[in-house]
Amino acid sequence: MPLAFCLKLFPSRSKYSDPDLHRCFRLAGHPDRCNEFPYLDHLRQVAPRVRAKIIRDSTMTTGASWKSEDAGPNRIRRWTMLLSDEALLEQFSIDMSSLKPQVVSKLREKAASYEDCMAVAKKLTFLAYSMPDAPHIPEETRQYLEALYGDLAPESTACLVCKENLSFSLFEYARRGKAEIETAHSNPRLHSPDNVGFAHRSCNIAQGPRSLDEFYDWMQEVISRVRPIN
Amino acid sequence: MPLAFCLKLFPSRSKYSDPDLHRCFRLAGHPDRCNEFPYLDHLRQVAPRVRAKIIRDSTMTTGASWKSEDAGPNRIRRWTMLLSDEALLEQFSIDMSSLKPQVVSKLREKAASYEDCMAVAKKLTFLAYSMPDAPHIPEETRQYLEALYGDLAPESTACLVCKENLSFSLFEYARRGKAEIETAHSNPRLHSPDNVGFAHRSCNIAQGPRSLDEFYDWMQEVISRVRPIN
């Protein structure tokens, strides 16, 4: 049975977001205040950086690691990137025509609807709680996420790319200032719950802009050349 | 028979280089002026960017793509990185203690002797001329490089990583401002002629800091998980 969300509109605080597009994802008829990410309230207590990462990765483009006129805005809401060049200039003072073509295509590739981003956030939370050493999920959150994505199976979240089990503790590790777990996409140009997962940083980098199928095809070709079976 | 080089000392123009360490690599007893890269004179005429790339990749650390106090010098001669922290501060005003540990280790990893860098430049030139569509090599340069690395076999230069043939024309292509061919290392921490080659940019990125053997091992493991043979 699909969940009935409250979906009441929210004001937003970000310079680059559309205030009309924030909605409450508590269940319809809830008491008290609205909440865009109610299923992340527990992680806010026990692993606030994981919660922040899930929200960031589901809703924001990544872009360059620095911000400049040339590189464009370094993080911008994915659904904002669905707007036309004209609307971006008018509403957000983002002049796409001033950016390099490669920056524009990188930003446009990350575009996704608000609905998809919200679904991705729920899916990533579901996957985080399915890691072997994840914090124990509160019953209410479990029911909420299971209604969306089926039974939570502990220890079932593997790296999207290499399929090795991922440890929740990796969220806390960083090497050279970069997190060891990244959000990855089976098809990098599709930001939807069926298409996202967590991956080792090195695996995500190795996959690059290819789809997972293309990446595995490439690996098989290379292995057949460098280590042929006699 | 090993080549006898002139090896006369050169003055240098770079802020970060050691003036004592530039030598002439024309053959001993040559007429006219000394030349550090005589075997690249032909490419200077017909493919100057390839010549510049070979010199840069053989002699310089890569480091960050920007330069800042925090990131350290973005390009510095590899043999300079063999100096102690004290010598770097005294001779080049590079304060290693002010840099992040990850930047320091990245810079130190790229350290290589001047001799190795010079041998790498010759090897890369040899490999560039062995690409299918390489410019025709002048006889004098051919003899020079063949004395060092054996017979030049046209069309024999494959990507170090994926082993597909590499086209010389790829040197001219760039996507998102990045060259499509990069200098790669079988063991990324070893800058020597036996250990370098050219690779597709995407292949070099996918290999990351692993050795090629480690990378192929990883690929085989992944393939055995995602596409097991029935």
Which DSSP state fits B134?
A: P
Sequence-distant (6+) residues with CB within 8 A of B118 are B23, B25, B36, B58
Quote ipTM for the complex.
0.84
- Left if phi > 0, otherwise alpha if psi is -120 to 50, otherwise beta: which for A150? left
Task: Provide, as residue numbers in chain B, all residues whose Cβ is less than 8 Å from the Cβ of A216.
Answer: 222-223, 226-227
Question: Quick one: what percent of chain B has pLDDT higher than 90?
Answer: 67
Nearest to B220 among A164, A218, A223 (CB): A223
Say if residue A92 is exposed, middle or buried (CB neighbours under 10 Å; 0-12, 13-18, 19+). Answer: middle
- Give CA–CA dist B187/B106, Å, rounded: 14
Report the residue of chain A nearest B106, measured CA to CA: A176
Contact B225 A175 (CB under 8 A): no
A161 and A188 Cβ atoms separated by less than 8 Å: no
- Give CA–CA dist A203/A201, Å, rounded: 5
Give helix A48-59 / helix A114-129 axis angle, nearest 10°.
Answer: 150
H-only helix segments in chain B: 41-46, 48-59, 85-92, 101-109, 114-129, 139-149, 201-207, 212-226
pTM here is: 0.86
A183-206 burial: b if 16+ Cβ within 10 Å, else e:
bbbbebeebbbebbbbbbbbbbbb
- Of A3-12, A51-60, B41-50, B86-95, minimum mean pLDDT range: A3-12
User: pLDDT (tens digit, 9 = 90+) per residue, B54-78?
Assistant: 999 999 987 554 455 555 566 788 9
pLDDT band at B156 (very low <50, low <70, confident <90, very high): confident
Our CA angle for A36, A40, A43, nearest 5°, is 155
Nearest to A222 among B163, B175, B221 (CB): B163
User: pLDDT (tens digit, 9 = 90+) per residue, B193-225?
Assistant: 999 999 999 999 999 999 999 999 999 999 999
A181 and A202 Cβ atoms separated by less than 8 Å: no
pLDDT band at A82 (very low <50, low <70, confident <90, very high): very high
